[in-house]
Structure 1
Amino acid sequence: MDLASLPLLLGAGVAAGAVNAIAGGGSLLSFPALVAAGYPSLTANVTNTVALWPGYVGGVVGFRADLDGQGPRTARYSVTAAVGAALGCLLLAVTPGDLFDAVVPLLILLACGLLGAQPWVSRAVRRLTERPGPGARGSGPRPATSGPDGLHGPDGLHGPDGLHGRDGSDRSGPEGSVDWDAEFELVPAGGGAATTTAARPRPVRDARTELSGTLLHGGMFLGGVYGAYFGAGLGVLLLGILGVLLPERLNRINALRSVLSLVVNTVALLAFALFSPVQWTVVAVMAPASLLGGVLGARVARRLPANVLRTVVVAFGAAVALVLALR
């Protein structure tokens, strides 16, 4: 890295962190900056992934309250996303530089399309998550909380999200929903000989539930492949898949999406650090700059309409794709 490119890379790091905090798609700014600084597309791609990794950690920290009760679900899909990311890293490693140069404009246009579609994706997800379904959280009659039949014991059936027993275990099905219309089984309210019982819903495992779980794993796998191979627009892609297939509130879906994005980028970071031409001096410049941009972006987000910034970033990305395709 020469000193002449230092201001460009610093500015790109700050801008990418801010854009990711406001609307997503920060790689559409930082990746072209690395290419403009003279780095080959493949080197720019892996360096960009490593440099922007701290921002994903910050996103998970910001969503930690909405991750409560999602531990088993998060672990399941994280494993799938990590396997997909490993395959994406392998594909990137065996892709010749000339071929990667040829597909980069198409990948940038795909990322622009994902970012441009974000408002519609978010609205569709919100409609799906706000409309109760037969297996949606909170639908159907809840079990009685008290009464002579002893259905409410000290096991704390109604935890923070209404799904956890005293042991903190997840009572959810494959996609985290519980059908409160399902048959209830009576279990001891406490350890040892108990005189009271507590109602616990049997998770529904019908054909639709199994299909949703399979599609979710497939979507997380493909998202992991794409995220490790290129990555721009990964968050929007994961949000759309989770929102369509997971009957859950939007803020909890976003929290899960932030963890999965971190998992994919962590796998990519480890693989790139070991086997790819990461420019560590550039990372040392852009990583703290992206953190600063994320902090500033969170403040600007309260004042700047996200649609305005999104339009600018998409237009810039499309122009970059055109330049790269013609060079």
Structure 2
Amino acid sequence: MSIWEAVAIFVAGTAAGTINTIVGSGTLITFPVLLATGLPPVTATVSNALGLIPGSISGAIAYRAELAGQRRRILRLGLAALVGGLGGAMLLTLLPPTAFETIVPVLVTLALVLVVLQPRISAAVQRRRERRGTGAPRSDGGPLLLTTLLAASVYGGYFTAAQGIVYLSLMGILIDDSLQRINAAKNVLAAIVNSVAALFFLFVAHFDWTAVLLIAVGSAIGGQIGARIGLRLSPVVLRTFIVLVGTAAVVQLVLR
């Protein structure tokens, strides 16, 4: 690996850590850079997953004030994230890369539509609850969120790209809370998925330690930068940023 390739990976890791903390899809920055350095796709995926762990943890810590009162929610959803992330990591070692590539753009597009429509859908769901006399939504999203988040975590353990966008869309609709607090929960769940997948990869997959370390340092720095930016964004601006990033992710996934 040349010095310029190392610099490119570090910069990509910083950018990925920043964007992952705000919304997600940082893998769409690091993954192509790793491929450009000559790493095979699976090795690049594994190295990327390992390297992004510090960024996920860094972002979650920076959002700690927004996590107040979410312990029960995080514990419940975190278990689903852990199981799903491990399942996705196992699938990466068993299935051909094309298995998920076809459905990923469709999944991300659907998530973006849900992000855009989330205020209207949430309002409609709340009005329906009021008419039926069922009261406020469950603080943890209920069985539907647990099931859908488990599926999203399987995908996250497999590839991770746009995983955060999917989380935000699901929790934004099924949980009655601010987008910033939901984003804080998303960062913790992403950290869980990345960590359990990486632990699995340490024992069964090949990875490049140099790439891992470069992304790790960069993403840790980026996590702090992303939190500083993300916490200052209004819900409308944050939602717009999510859609813009997600759209770019879909285009890249389709053209890749």
Which category describes the TM-score, using the shorter chain as reference length? Answer: 0.7 to 0.9
In 2, distance between residues paired with 1:283 and 1:62? 22
Unaligned runs of 5+ in 2: none
1:223/1:237 contact within 8 Å kept: yes
Can you list the C-alpha shifts for 1:155-176, whole angstroms capped at 9, x where unaligned? xxxxxxxxxxxxxxxxxxxx33
- 1:23-42 matched pairs, under 5 angstroms: 23-42=23-42
Cα deviations by residue, 1:262-298 (Å, 9 ceiling, x for unpaired): 2111111111122111211111111111222333445
* Superposition pairs of residues 123-202 of structure 1, within 5 angstroms: 123-124=119-120, 127=123, 133=130, 134-136=134-136, 175-176=138-139
User: Which protein is bigger by CA-based radius of gyration?
Assistant: 1
Of 165, 168, 178, 1:236 maps to: 165
1:107-122 map, 5 Å: 109-110=105-106, 113=109, 117=113, 120=116
Distance 2:227 2:66 in 1: 18
Deviation per CA, 1:63-84: give whole Å up to 9, x if none. 3223233223321221122111
State the alpha-carbon separation in 1 of the partners of residues 225 and 248 from structure 2.
Answer: 22
Q: What's the counterpart of residue 227 of structure 1? A: 156
Partners of 1:317 and 1:33 lie apart in 2 by: 17
2:145–2:171 Cα contact (<8 Å) kept? yes
SS of alignment partner, residue 177 of structure 2: coil
Q: Indicate which of 280, 287, 292 corresponds to 2:221.
A: 292
Does 1:281 pair with 2:176? no
Q: 1:72 to 1:104 in 2, by over 3 A?
A: closer
| TM-score, length-scaled by structure 1 | 0.64
RMSD: 3.2
Q: Does 1:213 align with 2:213?
A: no
2:188 to 259, 267, 271: 259
For 2:163, give the aligned amino acid. L
Give the stretch that moved more between structures: 64-73 or 49-58. 64-73
Which consecutive residues of structure 1, in runs of 5 or more, have no partner in the other structure? Answer: 138-174, 178-211
Deviations for 1:219-249, whole angstroms, at most 9, x for unmatched residues? 1210210110111111111122222222334
Q: For the structure 1 residues 112 and 31, does the alpha-carbon distance in structure 2 shift closer, same or farther, using more than 3 Å as the test?
A: farther
Amino acid at match of 1:48: N
AA aligned to 1:26 is G
Change (3 A) 1:218 1:107: same
Moved more, 44-53 or 62-71: 62-71
Which residue type is aligned with residue 157 of structure 2? A
Q: Output the CA distance in 2 between the equivalents of 1:120 and 1:18.
A: 22
Cα distance in structure 1, aligned partners of 2:249 and 2:154: 25
Determine the C-alpha separation between the residues in 2 that align with 1:119 and 1:241. Answer: 8
- Which stretch shows the higher mean deviation, 115-124 or 270-279? 115-124
Equivalent residue of 1:277, what SS?
coil
Change in CA separation of 1:58 and 1:24 when aligned onto 2, cut-off 3 Å: same
For the 8 Å contact 2:111–2:169, the answer to whether it is kept is no
2:37 and 2:105 map into 1 onto residues whose CA distance is 21
Q: Which residue of 1 aligns with 2:52?
A: 52
User: Partners of 1:269 and 1:27 in 2: how far apart?
Assistant: 14
Compared with structure 1, are the counterparts of its residues 311 and 79 closer, same or farther at alpha carbon in structure 2 (3 Å cutoff)?
Answer: closer
Question: Against the structure 1 CA distance between its residues 282 and 60, is the aligned structure 2 distance closer, same or farther, given a 3 Å change threshold?
Answer: same
Note if contact 2:31-2:45 (Cα within 8 Å) is conserved in structure 1: yes
Q: Secondary structure of 2:102's match?
A: helix
The alignment's TM-score, normalised by the length of structure 2, stands at: 0.79
Higher relative contact order (CA 8 A, sep 6+): 2
Q: In the TM superposition, what is the alpha-carbon distance from 1:217 to its structure 2 partner?
A: 1.8
**Cα distance between partner residues in 2 of 1:36 and 1:127:** 45
Structure-1 separation of matches of 2:38 and 2:73? 42
Alpha-carbon distance in structure 2 between the residues aligned to 1:12 and 1:114? 26
